[in-house]
A and B are shown apart, each in its own frame.
Chain A
Amino acid sequence: MSTETSVAVLVIGGALVAWIFNLVRQDRLYVGYGVIFGVAITTAAVVVGLPPILGAGAVLRAHIEGFIVGASAFVVLILVYTLSQVTLWSNRLTALTQELAIRQAEPPMGHDPAPAQRSEPPPAAGPFTESPRPRPPHSK
């Protein structure tokens, strides 16, 4: 592998890791996937990309071509995209599960909810929903 290809491997690897970590930061990729990809890509980029640069990649040079690097990056890209979609669906299911749990848990008698103090935005009025009305005290 030429020095140019090695540099390309390191740059592509770095860009992929940065993209993956940004997805994790935005909660669009599960952190466990992020760790696996991060470790795997960094290791692969270092093992494949560094020896030629350091002048010790005679064996690798004969076997690995630039297009294999490109194909690998593409496969990783598709894999990350797929897992990112899985994560999004998983997050939606998590939010739904939490919402059901909260709605089903009745507040203790005597506890008056205080929607005005919410740090969450109140539900907006839509075409099929009425504007939120103040709850009578102690209603369920």
Chain B
Amino acid sequence: MTTSSEPTGSSRAPSPVLIAIPAYNEEQTIEAVVHAVRSVAPRFDVLVVDDGSKDATGATLRRLGVTTATHLCNLGYGRAVQTAIKYADRHGYEALITFDADGQHRAQDIGPLYEAFSAGTFDLLIGSRFVRTRQYDMEPLLQRTGMKLFSALIALLFRQRVYDTSSGLKVIPRRVFGRLMFRPFVDLHAEAIAYLLALGYRVGEHPITVDRRRHGQSMYTMLSAVAYPLKVSLLMVLGIIDARLMPRGSREH
């Protein structure tokens, strides 16, 4: 009789990095996105957070055999990212890369983004559409106005310009998981950036290229045009107050 303590599964070395793809009704794009991410980053693990999709997204993910965390109902983008952070924290990943499921991000940007993150000393690195060009003209009016507003607000509050506050492509290291897992956020964009900056963390941007959306709808609608900036602004202010109220020792990492 022989015994062995060797694992019976794949002999692949454990990955320190998790790529998380929050998806809601993305049946048209999710397969191509997962294939693209797997092909450019075969060493990184991939997690798709299916945020209660009503279309065939879930069936597609099962067919692809990709690790999927399925919300029983739609919780929203911010909560989906928080699920990914909790998963990454629980399974010991050193960093989390968030990547949009709508096919607008280019998987080829993941490598350079992660290299820039590894070479730098950032606590949050944002894949930025505007840091190089500083041109918002390609964006629809509503989004453009919101992006400029939050970018200006962050510059005013922290004397640091963040050009792309609503990018879904980010590298989040383990040391800030705890800060982002349980707080209320709308979608972990401007309000999360402001909160981390207020806590003394370093936030950087790395240029990326984004394609135009070909399928589905943006999560930002006319209806949310008024409510969204108010909610994010309120959470930004409350986050800064919270950070200021925190004892000095527990504020920095």
Known: A32-B231, A94-B79, A114-B92. A104 touches B69 (CB 8 A): yes
Determine if B186 is an interface residue (Cβ-Cβ < 8 Å).
yes
Q: Report the tally of A-B residue pairs with Cβ distances under 8 A.
A: 110
How far, in whole Å, are A5 and B28 apart by their CA atoms in the complex? 60
Name the contact of A101 in the complex, choosing from B12, B49, B174, B182 (C-beta under 8 A).
B49
Note all chain A residues with C-beta closer than 8 A to B90. Answer: 102, 113, 115, 118, 120
Note all chain A residues with C-beta closer than 8 A to B89. Answer: 118-120
Range, interface on chain B: 35 or more
User: A6-14, A21-29, A47-55, A75-83: which lies at the B interface?
Assistant: A21-29
Range, interface on chain A: 35 or more
Note all chain A residues with C-beta closer than 8 A to B12. Answer: 109-110
Note all chain A residues with C-beta closer than 8 A to B86. Answer: 98, 102, 120
How far, in whole Å, are A59 and B10 apart by their CA atoms in the complex? 79
Known: A110-B12, A117-B92, A118-B92. A21 touches B71 (CB 8 A): no
Known: A31-B184, A118-B90. A108 touches B45 (CB 8 A): yes
How far, in whole Å, are A104 and B90 apart by their CA atoms in the complex? 13
Nearest-CB distance from A90 to chain B (Å)?
A: 10
Known: A27-B184, A108-B45, A120-B181. A115 touches B92 (CB 8 A): yes
Q: Is the CB of A97 within 8 A of B72?
A: yes
Determine if B13 is an interface residue (Cβ-Cβ < 8 Å).
yes
Determine if A106 is an interface residue (Cβ-Cβ < 8 Å).
yes
Determine if B9 is an interface residue (Cβ-Cβ < 8 Å).
yes
Determine if A138 is an interface residue (Cβ-Cβ < 8 Å).
yes
Determine if A64 is an interface residue (Cβ-Cβ < 8 Å).
no
Q: Is the CB of B83 within 8 A of A112?
A: no
Name the contact of B235 in the complex, choosing from A31, A94, A105 (C-beta under 8 A).
A31
Known: A39-B230, A119-B89. A100 touches B72 (CB 8 A): yes
Which of A38, A105, A110, A137 lies at the interface centre, i.e. has the most chain B CB atoms within 10 A of its CB?
A105
Q: Is the CB of B231 within 8 A of A102?
A: no
Q: Is the CB of B227 within 8 A of A32?
A: yes
Q: Is the CB of A98 within 8 A of B71?
A: yes
Name the contact of A105 in the complex, choosing from B8, B13, B47 (C-beta under 8 A).
B47
Nearest-CB distance from A135 to chain B (Å)?
A: 11
Known: A31-B186, A107-B91, A117-B174. A101 touches B69 (CB 8 A): yes
Q: Is the CB of B75 within 8 A of A98?
A: yes
Closest residue to A98 on the B side, CB-wise? B83
How far, in whole Å, are A39 and B250 apart by their CA atoms in the complex? 33
Q: Chain B, 47-85, contact with A by CB distance < 8 Å: what is the 0/1 string?
A: 101000000000000000001111111010001001100
Q: Is the CB of B234 within 8 A of A94?
A: no
How far, in whole Å, are A27 and B171 apart by their CA atoms in the complex? 25
Nearest-CB distance from A116 to chain B (Å)?
A: 8
Q: Is the CB of A38 within 8 A of B234?
A: yes
Q: Which 8 A-B pairs have the closest CB atoms?
A: A114-B92, A109-B9, A101-B69, A105-B69, A119-B178, A110-B12, A109-B10, A138-B7
**Residues in A lying within 8 Å of B, measured CB to CB:** 21, 24-25, 27, 30-32, 34-35, 38-39, 94, 97-98, 100-102, 104-115, 117-120, 137-138
* Additional 9 contacts, C-beta under 8 A, given A109-B7, A110-B7, A110-B10: A25-B241, A38-B234, A97-B71, A104-B70, A105-B47, A107-B67, A107-B91, A113-B90, A119-B178
